[in-house]
């Protein structure tokens, strides 16, 4: 057995006198979905309840097959899925990703962003919003589109080839959301590239029409805290440029550690993964207006044929989630807890006052909630 008393000793000084407000661990929320229509299993639901998440963000994808013709909507697949998310105790941030080809000229083309049948599209959106924000009161926030800057590669059947096209789609969809639920919080553009021109164009467009978004959103997968902080600073400056007088929240609606060259199941249990993410989360807590959404809570697989009816290249999703496979989940495929889970349990249990970066020794950085 190794004699740890012989290890090099490092002196650490902690100063708890400089408080920076309450510790807001609740701002690190959760995300799930976009892979298949299966509800969260009871084991995962019970584990998430213990974290007491404020929000969980999810995809309402076309494989739920809601649209069944003009004025006909089927929620039999989506209802149990949404209930399983709500059973965690969280309110839902729902990302609108569904795209019935019938409303888009019958074409299966990710570059087709604006529906041919605008009235039919808005009626569908209204029906979905009524179902989950009015009748069941599960969804508080509606995010319009997901990674439309990279399209199908980002898990969404929309690819905006110019920034203005997304803004038009946003307006058409947001109008329908607000008609069904005037108290809805609406935002986007959930870009894969946090500096995508889609975000600035959206803000400029909203400024022109006199209706600010309630939040702007982007995604980031990185082991480096400074990269996350850089995107926060960049997007905050955009908000100050267009809406200095308004408080608009920032949502990192997909966040996790950086991608690796090789992905194997065993690596998902490496505690270093959780440590890398934890370093970024602690740094980001100093930003009072930023919510993050860990993606994702449960590792899954793509069901064969599930994307065929609305994806030009359905193999994209199968390759990522079945063959690579990406294993970033808080829980494994069989519901086993991974180190990420204990990181979020730690954040959920922490109370008191937040301090600045209060202790440093060589490569060790510690942040401690006081009280």
- Is 7 a domain residue? no
The single residue listed with the structure tokens 């709500």 is 86
Positive or negative: CA dihedral 329, 332, 338, 343? positive
- Is 10 a domain residue? no
- Is 292 a domain residue? yes
What is the total count of domains within the chain?
Answer: 1
- Secondary structure E strands in 152-226: 185-191, 215-221
- Is 243 a domain residue? yes
Taking alpha carbons only, the member of 225, 226, 217, 208 closest to residue 185 is 217
How does pLDDT run across 93-113, given as a tens digit for each residue? Answer: 999 999 999 999 998 999 999
> Which residues in the chain show pLDDT less than 70?
1-5, 10-21, 288, 351-371
Q: Which residues of 261-277 are buried (b: 16+ CB within 10 A; e: fewer)?
A: eeeeeeebeeeebbebb
Q: Which residues of 129-138 are buried (b: 16+ CB within 10 A; e: fewer)?
A: bebbbeeeeb
Whether 217 contacts 93, CB under 8 Å? no
- Is 16 a domain residue? no
- Is 131 a domain residue? yes
Whether 62 contacts 121, CB under 8 Å? no
In this prediction, residue 6 carries a pLDDT of: 72
pTM beyond 0.75, yes or no:
yes
- Is 157 a domain residue? yes
Quick one: 93 exposed, middle or buried, by C-beta within 10 A (0-12, 13-18, 19+)?
A: buried
Provide the CA 357 distance to its chain's centre, in angstroms: 27
- Is 231 a domain residue? yes
Beta-ladder partners of 31:
57, 295
Q: For 54, which DSSP code?
A: S
Query: Could you write out the DSSP letters of every residue in 102-168?
Result: GGGTT---TT--S-S-HHHHHHHHHHHHIIIIIIS--EEEEEE-SSTTTGGGGT-S---SSHHHHHH
Which CATH number is 273's domain given? 3.20.20.80
Q: How far is CA 119 from CA 103, 115, 124, 176, in A?
A: 9, 9, 9, 9
In this prediction, residue 37 carries a pLDDT of: 95
Domain range enclosing 43? 24-366
Beta-ladder partners of 186:
142
């Amino acid at each position: 057995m190794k004699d740890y008393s012989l290890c090099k000793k490092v002196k650490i000084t902690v100063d708890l006198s400089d408080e920076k407000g309450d510790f807001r661990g609740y701002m690190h929320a959760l995300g799930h979905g976009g892979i298949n229509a299966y509800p969260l299993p009871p084991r995962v639901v019970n584990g998430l309840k213990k974290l007491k998440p404020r929000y969980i963000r999810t995809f309402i994808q076309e494989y739920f097959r809601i649209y069944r013709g003009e004025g006909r909507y089927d929620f039999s697949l989506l209802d149990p899925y949404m209930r399983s998310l709500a059973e965690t105790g969280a309110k839902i941030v729902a990302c609108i990703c569904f795209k019935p080809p019938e409303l888009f000229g019958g074409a299966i083309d990710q570059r087709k962003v604006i529906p041919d049948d605008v009235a039919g599209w808005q009626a569908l959106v209204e029906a979905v919003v009524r179902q989950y924000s009015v009748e069941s009161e599960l969804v508080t926030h509606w995010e319009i589109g997901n990674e439309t800057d990279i399209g199908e590669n980002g898990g969404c059947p929309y690819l905006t080839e110019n920034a203005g096209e997304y803004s038009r789609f946003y307006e058409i969809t947001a109008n329908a959301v607000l008609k069904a639920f005037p108290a809805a919080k609406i935002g986007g553009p959930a870009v894969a590239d946090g500096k995508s021109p889609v975000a600035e164009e959206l803000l400029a467009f909203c400024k022109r029409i006199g209706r600010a978004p309630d939040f702007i959103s982007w995604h980031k997968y990185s082991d480096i805290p400074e990269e996350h902080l850089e995107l926060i600073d960049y997007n905050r400056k955009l908000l100050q440029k267009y809406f200095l007088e308004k408080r608009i929240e920032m949502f990192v609606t997909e966040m996790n550690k950086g991608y690796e060259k090789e992905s194997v199941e065993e690596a998902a249990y490496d505690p270093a993964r959780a440590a890398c993410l934890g370093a970024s989360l602690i740094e980001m807590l100093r930003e009072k207006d930023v919510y993050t959404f860990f993606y994702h809570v449960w590792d899954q697989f793509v069901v064969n044929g599930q994307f065929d009816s609305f994806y030009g290249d359905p193999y994209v999703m199968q390759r990522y989630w079945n063959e690579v496979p990406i294993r970033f989940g808080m829980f494994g495929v069989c519901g086993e807890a991974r180190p990420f889970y204990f990181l979020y349990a730690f954040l959920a249990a922490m109370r008191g006052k937040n301090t600045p970066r209060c202790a440093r020794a060589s490569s060790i950085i510690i942040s401690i909630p006081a009280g």
